[in-house]
Amino acid sequence: MLNQLPLYQQAILTLAAMILFSSFALLAQNRVLAMIHVFAWQGLLVALTTTFVAYDSGAHHLYFSAALTVALKVLFIPWLLHRLVRRMGIDREMHEVGHPAMVLMTAAALVIFCYYVAQPIHQLSTSITRNTIAISMAVVVLGLLMLITRNKAVSQVIGFMSLENGLFFAAVAATNGMPMVVELGIAFDVLVAAVIFGVFFFHIRDSIDSLDVAQLNQLAEHDQ
């Protein structure tokens, strides 16, 4: 029962729910800067969860992981995106979501679906963190939904980064963190990916004069 768990484990569950909420919030955002800020908050929540799990399980390398998450996902990548967005002058643009109510309903349905898929895993583990596997899967799937429902490059990239947040949360919640070597590698990859995305935005903008990726459709199979 929930009331029999120690306080920091309850905190982990609450933080998991808040991370899920931040995914919903990302899906509903219209403004680019607000999206970047919500993404930073999500990173902070994930880092907090990592810290609590580190305290709970005694895996001390997780403190380092949490610090890495803060440095990368809360500070560096939002700063990079912020800078890019300002340099490209799109910080006042509205990156609208088509049919926001529909997207939110789909998101809720997907969360329920993820819970259903994660049920067998749920029944296995005895630790508190088994419940959070469903939440982490949901965060991954919601990041994917954001990628699909958005038309502008910056929103898609934020969806992609939020997907990575969900993955990291899955690793922390389900398994008390992966070995340090792997985590460092993943962090490095995310960093390089973010930098390359940044470079990419300029290429896209120079090439098609906007960041609307719906216009990148020359190579589709046409009937000729």
**Using CB under 8 A, which residues numbered 139 to 178 contact other proteins?**
140, 144, 147, 153, 156, 160, 163-164, 167, 170-171, 174-176, 178
**Cα–Cα distance for residue pair 92/97, rounded to 1 Å:** 15
Residue in 63, 121, 210, 212 binding other proteins, rule: CB under 8 A:
121
Segment 202-221, which members bind other proteins (CB under 8 A)? 203-204, 206-208, 213, 216-219, 221
Residue in 55, 82, 193, 198 binding other proteins, rule: CB under 8 A:
193
Answer left, alpha or beta for residue 89, where phi above 0 means left and psi between -120 and 50 means alpha.
Answer: left
Q: Which residues contact 50 (CB under 8 A, 6 or more apart)?
A: 62, 63, 65, 66, 69, 172, 177
CB of 3 to other proteins, least distance (A): 4
Q: Which residues contact 210 (CB under 8 A, 6 or more apart)?
A: none
Residue in 132, 146, 152, 154 binding other proteins, rule: CB under 8 A:
132
Contact criterion met (CB below 8 Å) for 11 and 52: yes
Outline where the chain has alpha helix (H).
7-28, 32-57, 61-69, 77-88, 100-122, 130-149, 153-175, 180-208
Cα 187 from chain centre: 14
Residue in 79, 87, 102, 200 binding other proteins, rule: CB under 8 A:
200
Whichever of 17 and 67 has its CB closer to other proteins, that residue is 17
Residue in 62, 133, 142, 146 binding other proteins, rule: CB under 8 A:
133
75: contact with other proteins by CB under 8 A? no
Taking CB under 8 A as the rule, which mask of x and - marks residues 89-118 in contact with other proteins?
-----------xx--x---x--xx--x-x-
CB of 35 to other proteins, least distance (A): 16
Query: Among candidates 142, 167, 46, 190, which has minimal Cα distance to 150?
Result: 142
**Cα–Cα distance for residue pair 47/62, rounded to 1 Å:** 9
198: contact with other proteins by CB under 8 A? no
CB of 153 to other proteins, least distance (A): 8
